Chains A and B, each alone.
Chain A
C-alpha cells in the first residue's frame, strides 16, 4: 500500500494533508485535556524588579550580536592575530604555508587524475 515514486507536487500534497490531519487531532486532544487555570505573575528576574533590565522583549539585534560577538569574532581574531599582525614575516609564513598546501593538493589531484586515466 502507499505510493512509490510519486511526483514532487503529489508528495507535498500528501505530506501537507497528513500534517494538517495531525495538527487537527493534536489540537483537539490538547484543548480537551489541558488545564484551564491561569495565574498572572510578574516576569521572572531572579527576584529583581522589572526596572533592572532595559528591555523584556528580545531584539533582533541581540540575536545578531550574540552570533557575531561569540563566534564570528573568534574567526576575525584568527585573521588579526595570525595573518594580519602587521609583521611582513608573519604574513609570509602564513601565505607560504597556505600556498604549500595548495601545491600539495594540486599535485595529488594531478597524480590521481593520471592514475585514473
Chain B
C-alpha cells in the first residue's frame, strides 16, 4: 500500500533520497571510498597519498571534485556534444541515488518481490549504459577503443555480478516474503555462511562478486578500458572540467553502491545486530571496509591484463564460480 499521500511519508522520502542514505550520504561515502583507495594504494607503493586537504588528507577527493566543477574549463572539439554527456552522466548518478530507497538502511525503505531486479537495473545496467552514451558523445579514436573494451568486459562481468547477488538472495529469501528482496535477504545471509552446504555457494558467490567489482571499478588487473600510456585515458579521453567531475563521481558511486549491495546480500549488513544499534553500525562499516580492502589489495598486487587475457580471467575466476554456484543452488533447491 502506497503511503506517499501523507506529508510525513513524503518528507521522509525526500530525506531518504536527498540526505540519508541518498545524495549527501552516498556522495560523501563515495568520496571517502575514493580517499581510502588512493591512500591505501599509496601506502602499498611507498607514497604518501592525499595528505594536505583536511585531517590526514581526507577532504582531497572533495577538493578535486569541486576544483574540476568550478575552476576548470570544458574543452570541446567540433565533434563533441557536451550537453548530451552531461545529461547522460547526471541521469546515471540519479539512478544510483534513486535506488537507495530499496536499501534497508534507508529510513523510508521500500521492499517488494524481486526488488533486486530493479536495484540491479538502476545501479549496474543504467550507469554503464549512461557512461557509454557520455563517452560516445565526446568521440575520439581512443574513446572508441576504450568503450569497445569496456563493453567487451561488461558482456561477461555484468552477468557475473548479477549471479553473485541473485544466488545468495534466492537461498536467503526462499519461502519468505517479500521474495528476492534485499530487505529480506540480509537477515538470513549469516545463516547461509554457517551451514556447510550453503557456505560453499556463498564462498563461490563472494569470489565472483569480488572479480566483478574489480571489473566494474576498472581497477587493475582489469583497467584495460582506461589503459594509460596505451590509449591515453580510454573512454574518458575527451572528458574535461565539470564533465570529468561527473564521470569521476559516477565511477565512485558505482563502486560504492556495488560494495553496499555486497555488504548486505553477501555479508548480511548489520546482522546479527540491528541497524539502529552501535554493534550494527560497527558491523556494517567493518564489512564494507573489509570488502573494499580486498578490492584495493587485488588492485595493488596485480598488473594490467591485455583485453583478451582480462576476458579469460573474468571467465575463469568470475563466470565459472558463478555457474558452479548456480548449479549447486539448483541441486540444493531440488533435494532440500
Contacts and interface: CB of A to CB of B under 8 A. Distances in A.
Interface residues of B, number: 80
A19 interface: yes
Interface string A13-43: 1111111111101110010011101111111
B91 A23 contact: yes
A67 interface: yes
A116 B139 contact: no
Contact of A27 (B22, B71, B90): B90
Contacts of A30: 69, 86, 90, 242, 246
B194 interface: no
B66 to A, nearest CB: 8
Contact of A6 (B112, B122, B152): B112
Interface in B121-156: 122, 136, 139-145, 147-149, 151-152, 155
The B interface, classified by DSSP as helix, strand, loop or mixed, is helix
B14 A35 contact: no
Contacts of A37: 73-74, 241
A11 interface: yes
Interface in A21-70: 21-23, 25-27, 30, 33-35, 37-46, 53, 55-58, 62-63, 66-67, 70
Interface string B222-235: 00000000001000
B93 interface: yes
A38 B73 contact: yes
A24 B68 CA distance: 21
Contact of A35 (B1, B9, B114, B241): B241
Contacts of B107: 1-2
B230 to A, nearest CB: 11
A65 B148 CA distance: 9
A12 B115 CA distance: 9
B111 A74 contact: no
A15 B118 contact: yes
Interface residues of A, number: 53
Interface in B166-205: 177-178, 183
Interface of A: 1-8, 10-23, 25-27, 30, 33-35, 37-46, 53, 55-58, 62-63, 66-67, 70-71, 74, 112, 116
Given A56-B79, A67-B152, 20 more contacts: A1-B12, A11-B112, A15-B102, A17-B4, A19-B95, A23-B90, A23-B98, A25-B17, A26-B23, A30-B90, A30-B246, A34-B69, A40-B75, A43-B77, A66-B151, A67-B155, A70-B308, A74-B308, A74-B311, A112-B331
Interface of B: 1-4, 8-9, 12-14, 16-18, 22-23, 66, 69-79, 82, 86, 90-91, 93-95, 97-102, 106-115, 118, 122, 136, 139-145, 147-149, 151-152, 155, 177-178, 183, 232, 237-238, 241-242, 246, 307-308, 311-312, 331, 335
17 contacts: A1-B107, A5-B113, A15-B98, A18-B16, A18-B97, A19-B95, A21-B14, A21-B98, A22-B17, A34-B242, A38-B75, A39-B75, A39-B76, A40-B76, A40-B78, A45-B141, A58-B139
